[in-house]
């Protein structure tokens, strides 16, 4: 059991018979009244986030997570197949489970699959991925001074805003947390 003063971002807890991951937390000590902890929790099953406030004396069951390095092998219309790099066992996950992450994945990319009680809970991508630009409008000479951007479609089909000097065939580094262009590689 853990108390609210032991909360950390990314920690998983059981609350109201549901598994939640702590997305954000803040200890608040108002001038009047008792202290409390304001949190944003993500439901492990539904993926929805909720805001909850807890008293400092409340205790929760801390769930231990395990991360396994896996390689993305291939995808079919409904699911994605990974292979454990140590045991070579394969894991199939629904594409809906990877919402917002699948668009940055390339074949043979290593990812961290997070397990809670032996069940897959989340997939952590590398912070930055390098992807090739397959389609973008040409930059017009002189437009680069203003620091403008244009839309580019990358090899996985994801669309990101890139600087005007980026052309088709270039490889760009994208931040998977924010879906933003970082640099040209």
CA 64 to CA 144: how far, in whole Å?
50
The region of weakest confidence among 5-9, 45-49, 138-142 is 138-142
Mean pLDDT of the chain: 88
- Angle of CA points 38, 16, 9, to nearest 5°: 40
Determine the Cα–Cα distance for residues 88 and 165; give it in Å rounded to an integer. 42
pLDDT at 147 over 70: no
DSSP 75-119: E-SSEEEEEETTT--EEEEEGGGGTTTGGG--TT-EEEEEEETTE
- At 142, the pLDDT band (50, 70, 90 cuts) reads low
Asked if the model's pLDDT at residue 47 lies above 80, the reply is no
Strand, helix or coil at 124? strand
Distances, alpha carbon 105 to alpha carbons 15, 60, 110, 124, 125, in Å: 32, 35, 9, 11, 8
146/67: higher pLDDT: 67
- Give residue 119's pLDDT: 81
Mean pLDDT within 21-44: 88
| Percent with pLDDT over 90 in the chain | 44
pLDDT of residue 54: 92
Structure tokens at 7: 């909360």
Overall size of the chain counted in residues: 185
**According to the model, what pLDDT value does residue 17 have?**
87
Q: Can you list the domains of the chain with their CATH numbers?
A: 2-63 (2.30.30.30), 65-124 (2.40.50.140), 128-184 (2.40.50.140)
Neighbours of 80 (CB within 10 A): 21
How much of the chain is helix, strand and coil, in % rounded to 5? 10, 55, 40
Q: What is the pLDDT of residue 183?
A: 92
């Amino acid at each position: 059991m853990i108390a609210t003063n032991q909360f950390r971002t990314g920690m998983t807890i059981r609350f109201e018979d549901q598994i939640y991951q702590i997305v954000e937390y803040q200890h608040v000590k108002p001038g009047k009244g008792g202290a409390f902890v304001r949190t944003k929790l993500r439901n492990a099953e539904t993926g929805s986030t909720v805001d909850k406030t807890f008293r400092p004396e409340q205790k929760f069951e801390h769930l231990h997570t395990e991360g396994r390095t896996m390689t993305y092998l291939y995808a079919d219309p409904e699911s994605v197949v990974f292979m454990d790099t140590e045991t070579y066992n394969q894991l199939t996950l629904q594409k809906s489970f990877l919402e917002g992450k699948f668009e940055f994945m390339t074949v043979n990319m290593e990812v961290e699959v997070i397990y809670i009680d032996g069940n897959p809970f989340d997939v952590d991508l590398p912070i930055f991925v390098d992807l090739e630009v397959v389609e973008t409008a040409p930059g017009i000479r002189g437009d680069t001074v203003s620091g403008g951007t244009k839309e580019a479609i990358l090899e996985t089909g994801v669309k990101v805003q890139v600087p005007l000097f980026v052309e088709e065939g270039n490889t760009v580094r994208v931040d998977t947390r924010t879906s933003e262009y970082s640099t040209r590689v």
